[in-house]
Amino acid sequence: MPFSPAHFTTERRLDDGVLERDFVIDGIPGTLWTPPTTPAPLILAGHPGGLQSMHPRLEARARSAATSGFATATIELPGSGHRDPLPDVDHARTELRTALAAGQPVTEDIIDRLVLPLVDRAVPELQATIDALLTLPDVDGPVGYSGGVTAIGVRLALVEPRIAALGLFAGSYLPRATLQEAREVDVPVHVLLQWDDAWNDRQRALELFDALASEEKTLQANMGGHTGVPPHAGEDAGRFFARHLSVALPQ
């Protein structure tokens, strides 16, 4: 099937030699980081939306991945940043915050209306991103997915055969439909769980790990909240991707 190429809009060389380039694919903005030595296997970096506000964290993740020989790409989530709003999703997000502020449970209906429309839109966009970036001379397969939204990563691994490894950040609300999809995901998986994350349904995250059909799956649980991920957790995730994306880590 024909696909749109990446149109690069900016380019800058970071002090560690990583090349950072902003791009647009079918009107969707994103950023690609490539290490000094290429071609490099590609990791898609998931995030909760808002490329501009998330840029420092995404850049730090990409620079860390580059030290292990990976290229990293990310795109803006549907309804986030300067993309067209999704009123139904925004309404569900408001309902979620209202329920949390009132100490009420977050219903399955709210979770479905918040997450599933993002999954339905984002996954084909990520597949188009893979199509475009794998044509570049400095990007190569296989491809991994790292981060959140968790449900997006699960769906992508289910429908996209080029995803060879899946790293999930268990820090977002998870529809029950995602648990069903996880039962068909068989690529290697590394799940990072912050035990005291107030924005994470710990029990649902454990159910997800149990549901994943992967023969190799690892659950790494750390004490602390959403922003308390210890440095060694990132290093462990790097080793996971190095095993399954065929990159030799520096000694």
Total-model pTM: 0.93
Q: Is pLDDT of 2 > 80?
A: no
Q: What percent of the chain has pLDDT over 90?
A: 75
Q: How confident is the model at residue 29 (pLDDT cuts 50, 70, 90)?
A: very high
DSSP one-letter code for 39: S
pLDDT tens by residue, 57-84: 999 999 999 999 999 999 999 999 999 9
Over residues 42-57, mean pLDDT = 94
> Cβ distance 19 to 33 under 8 Å?
yes
Q: Which residues of 181-217 are buried (b: 16+ CB within 10 A; e: fewer)?
A: bbeebebbbbbbbbeebeebbeebbeebbebbebeeb
Q: How confident is the model at residue 249 (pLDDT cuts 50, 70, 90)?
A: very low
For residue 228, the model assigns a pLDDT of: 64
Which of 245, 242, 77 is closest to 147 using CA atoms?
A: 77
pLDDT tens by residue, 107-147: 999 999 999 999 999 999 999 999 999 999 999 989 999 99
Handedness of CA 202, 204, 207, 211 (dihedral sign): negative
